[in-house]
Structure 1
Amino acid sequence: MTVNADVIRNSDTAHPLPPVAITADALPDTGRERPLPPSQDPFFHPPRGFARQAPGTILRTRSVEIALFGVIPQRVTAWQLLYRSQDLHGVPEVAITTVLLPEGAEPDAERPLLAFQTAMDAVTDRCAPSYALRRGSLSPGSITQLEWLLVAGALRRGWAVSIADHEGPQGGFGVAREPGYRGLDGVRAALRFAPLALHAGTRVAVWGYSGGGMAASWLIEMAPEYAPELNIVGAALGAPVGDPRHVFLSLNGGAFAGFPAIVIAALQQVYPVLAEVMARDLTADGLRVLERARSLGPLAVLPMLMGRDMDDYLKRPLAEILPDLEPMFDEIRLGNRAPACPVLVVQPVHDQVIDVAGVDGQVARYRERGAAVWYLRDRLSEHFSLLPLATPLSLDWLADRLAGRTLTEPTTKTVWSVALPPTQWRGLVEMATTAMRVTFGLPLRPVTVRPSDEVSGLAA
């Protein structure tokens, strides 16, 4: 089978797309067999000569079935696109995105695209969205599966959605820049994929929370330099891990000590200085802890490693090791590049996972570099409750950007709760009906469109 212009449309005349050979792995997913994890799936194998293609070039496609927790089929149309991207050092690699439309969606040249970045927060490829969202997947401990409700909310608005495996083939949780490259090239691929009926000027929104907010931050930070041709009109970042060093130290030894372990397991694959430190200073017990962190999803790792302190697994104190790691932490810190699009940042004041000071710093760095940022801090929510409570607000704010509605001057607001204003109640009711529909596998009928002159007073 060969992909031709009926399937892949070349929207980049500077890089014409040749016919792409497709193997049997590109045949539709029938749902009869359990899908293979990416590391075992031949669909992910790089085609010969792929490195000569332009970033975002589609290499393979297949249709797939999406299911909540791998079990409840969802009424959406979905494909997976393998495309050319690059790693931290600019070396070509393949990446994958899952692209979706509401079931039965008619072609619409004005349809926007949401680049949704999931909170993968894992090294294991069983938490990659290309696997975790598929029917029949086994992804214990995955956060990605819980975030399907957010994606469904966007689909109910009639948007197309692209969900890239932004951590790449090695599970690079926390690595600098790479999530941006993969996410942006995933958008390029989606715009070229004819069944989505998008085009080069399609309006693009970006959204992510927690680990997904970190990936979304990298996407909009890298966009002006790496993909300036994309029409990114706005981004919503929830609790976006502005300073990973601060988060690493504050979580170590506490209830969420599993996150630092996962990050170490991921970063040592990419940063030689960390790999050398771990090889020299990690105890045998420490090696076993990292292996657990590498092989399990975050919701499985967290209870297992609750209260664990890295000092208990090192041959010398962590304080002596940190100076060697400062260049790495400097590189993975967010906010050193200014996004070109308007940005909404939503953050709990009393976040027990992502300390508000780190996000304050990210916002300040963006503004110092000229970015337009609307910063909303919530006093009553904590890390996990703000995700659902801020979902209607985030969707409405992005919808306003996609519609080209006027913004006020950038502000910082600290409120008791983003859910208190009556303007948010309808969105919360719609989210509840969306949750009911995905739970029972019902069609994602369109939501009530907010009047064009109704702008949220929280984040306008």
Structure 2
Amino acid sequence: MQIPTIDRNLVVLTIGALLLGSLTVLSGPGVSPAAAAPVYPAPDPDPFYAAPADISDKSPGEILDTRVMPPLPIFPGTTVTLVKFRSNNSRGLPIAATTTVLTPQWRGPDGPLLSYQHIINGLGTHCAVSRVLYTPDPTLQIREAPALNAALARGWSVALPDHLGPTFAYGAARLGGQITLDGIRAARAAGLGLQNSRVAMAGYSGGGMATAWAAALAPRYAPDLDIAGAATGGVPMNLVRMLEAVNTGPHPAFGLVMAAGIGLEREYPDRFPISESMNVRGLNARNTVANGCTNEILAAGAGRSIVEYASSMSMVTDPEARAVVEENSLELFDGIPNMPIIEWHSASDPLIPVDSIERTNRRYCAAGVPVQAQNTLSPEHLSAAVLGVPQVLMWLEGRFRGDPAPSNC
């Protein structure tokens, strides 16, 4: 198992200790209000990523800028276009977001468009997919590139949104769904021959979370989009359930635990003030990882635990803080996708509550959504992603052809 494959689904398991009171917090030094303010990432030095002054005048999904990027050796024969567009944060305020569109030279007129939500583990702007594509990051090259090349070989264009948003709100799942939908709008309007393309979505784990939220939000947030289907794998449908089962001992991935708390505070600064519950040691660790990607975050928190960094029980009984977690739990959201779904996971996944997945599938089925639910033979979370790829590609091909969607509801 490679370290970079750890994602936010594991992370959110342990931030619940600060919400649900499942541990005795050790007292620590107090902090000043200034020290306890949320910490945001350093702005990307490339002005392309900055929001224009008139962004409030734009509509969600409206293009703000485009840039033709250098070709990528890992995707031979493919042109690369970076598209900046207006989206919304979780409070409905305008933000500038980006998506990278890969276009194979052999695509046909109005060829399919797949929005693929990559797993993003990071708090810094250089952790964006659009940035990582141009680094020797083994996560993309080893794990993601084969599946993406399989899609490109079929003549599909692929959009890769930076779905954590400009503040890198790691852990804010609903935000990822909104950015995904606006990214599809932008990709179709970017002059890449995708205006009339059939569109589908896919993603696993953290990327599956953004995909599943996009599918559920689509009827309300983007009723203008006709999406042929969504492939969602390994999705934690109920973060509250995961938090209730938290283990608070030292963990090799505790850096990602804290990163999720930092990301939620960035997105909900008034409702999820986790920095106010940190002692000086915790704030120092927070500042160390504030611009980190996977390796930096893991290294900073390896073997640590919440009890080392907490100074206050203030969030334990805070209804607003708990509501933030509930609002990012798809099982608790009343929206119903208006597209077919294929959903796959390990039947014995130790990271996510499978019964929450099954209840969500049943709710969708009862509402008339064609759901093809698949249990893989994998005994754990990560290998299930790979085992599901062949069937998911065949399912997506059917949606792009316009075939009736299978269902095992």
TM > 0.5: yes
Which residue of structure 2 lines up, in the alignment, with residue 401 of structure 1?
A: 399
The aligned counterpart of 2:214 is: 219
The alpha carbon displacement at 1:108 in A equals 1.1
Per-residue CA deviations over 1:256-313 (Å, capped at 9, x if unaligned) read 444322210100112235543431x211222233334433223553465344331332
Residues 343 and 284 (structure 1), Cα distance of their counterparts in 2 relative to 1, 3 Å cut: same
Stretch moving more, 205-214 or 78-87: 78-87
The percent identity for this pair of structures is: 30
Q: Which moved more, 1:243-252 or 1:316-325?
A: 316-325
Compared CA separation, residues 255 and 352, structure 1 to 2 (3 A):
farther
Given the superposition, is the C-alpha separation of residues 380 and 44 from structure 1 closer, same or farther in structure 2, using an over 3 Å criterion? closer
Query: Is 364-373 or 88-97 further displaced after alignment?
Result: 364-373
Question: Structure 1 residues 143-152 or 209-218, which shifts more?
Answer: 143-152
TM norm structure 1: 0.72
d(CA) in 1 for partners of 2:156, 2:114: 7
Structure 2: unaligned runs, 5 residues or longer: 1-41
Give 1:319 deviation, angstroms: 9.0
Alignment of 1:63-82 (within 5 A): 63-67=68-72, 74-82=76-84
* Displacement after TM superposition at 1:124 (Å): 1.7
Contact 1:58–1:189 (Cα < 8 Å) also in 2: yes
Letter in 1 for 2:376: D
Does the 8 A contact of 2:350 with 2:381 survive in 1?
yes
Is 1:261 matched with 2:258? yes
Where does residue 242 of structure 1 map in the other structure? 237
Unaligned runs of 5+ in 1: 1-36, 412-460
Aligned partner letter, 1:235? A
Q: Which residue of 2 aligns with 1:330?
A: 326
User: What's the counterpart of residue 388 of structure 1?
Assistant: 386
Aligned to 2:161: 164
Tell me if 1:59 matches 2:64. yes
Question: Measured at CA, do residues 333 and 171 of structure 1 come closer, stay the same or move farther in structure 2, by a change above 3 Å?
Answer: same
| From 49, 54, 74, the counterpart of 1:49 | 54
* 2:171 and 2:261 in contact (8 A); partners too: no
Matched, 1:40 2:40: no
Cα shift at 1:399:
0.9
Name the structure 1 match of 2:122: 122
Equivalent in the alignment of 1:94: 96
Distance 1:115 1:345, change over 3 A: same
Amino acid in structure 1 at the alignment position of 2:95: E
Amino acid at match of 2:310: L
Native 8 Å contact 1:235 1:343 kept in 2? yes
- Residue type matched to 2:106 in 1? A
Conserved in 1, the CA contact under 8 Å of 2:49 and 2:96?
Answer: yes
Kindly provide the amino acid, as one letter, of the partner of residue 403 in structure 1: R
1:323 and 1:52 mapped to 2: Cα distance?
34
* 1:282 is aligned to 2:278: yes
The count of residues paired between Structure 1 and Structure 2 equals 364
Q: CA deviation at 1:62?
A: 0.9
Write the mapping of 1:355-434 to structure 2, written as runs, cut at 5 A.
355-367=353-365, 369-411=367-409
Partner of 1:188: 185
* Counterpart residue identity of residue 215, structure 2: I
Name the TM-score, length of structure 2 as normaliser: 0.80
Report the aligned-residue RMSD.
2.7
Q: CA deviation at 1:343?
A: 0.7
User: Take 2:227 and 2:348, find their aligned partners in 1: how far apart are those partners?
Assistant: 31
CA deviations 1:380-435 (Å, max 9, x no partner) are: 34222112221111111111111122334433xxxxxxxxxxxxxxxxxxxxxxxx
- Residue-by-residue CA offset, 1:424-459 (whole Å, 9 max, x unaligned): xxxxxxxxxxxxxxxxxxxxxxxxxxxxxxxxxxxx
CA 1:357/1:273 → structure 2, altered by over 3 Å: closer, same or farther? farther
Q: Name segments (4+ residues, structure 1) moved above 6 Å.
A: none
SS at match of 1:353: coil
Instruction: Please give the alpha-carbon distance, in whole angstroms, between the structure 2 residues aligned to 1:204 and 1:84.
Output: 20
Asked whether 1:340 is paired with 2:342, we answer no
Aligned in 2, Cα 1:378/1:107: closer, same or farther, shift over 3 Å? Answer: closer
2:301 maps to which of 291, 305, 312: 305
**In the TM superposition, what are the counterparts of 1:5-24 in structure 2 within 5 Å?**
none
CA change 1:133–1:38 in 2 (3 A) is farther
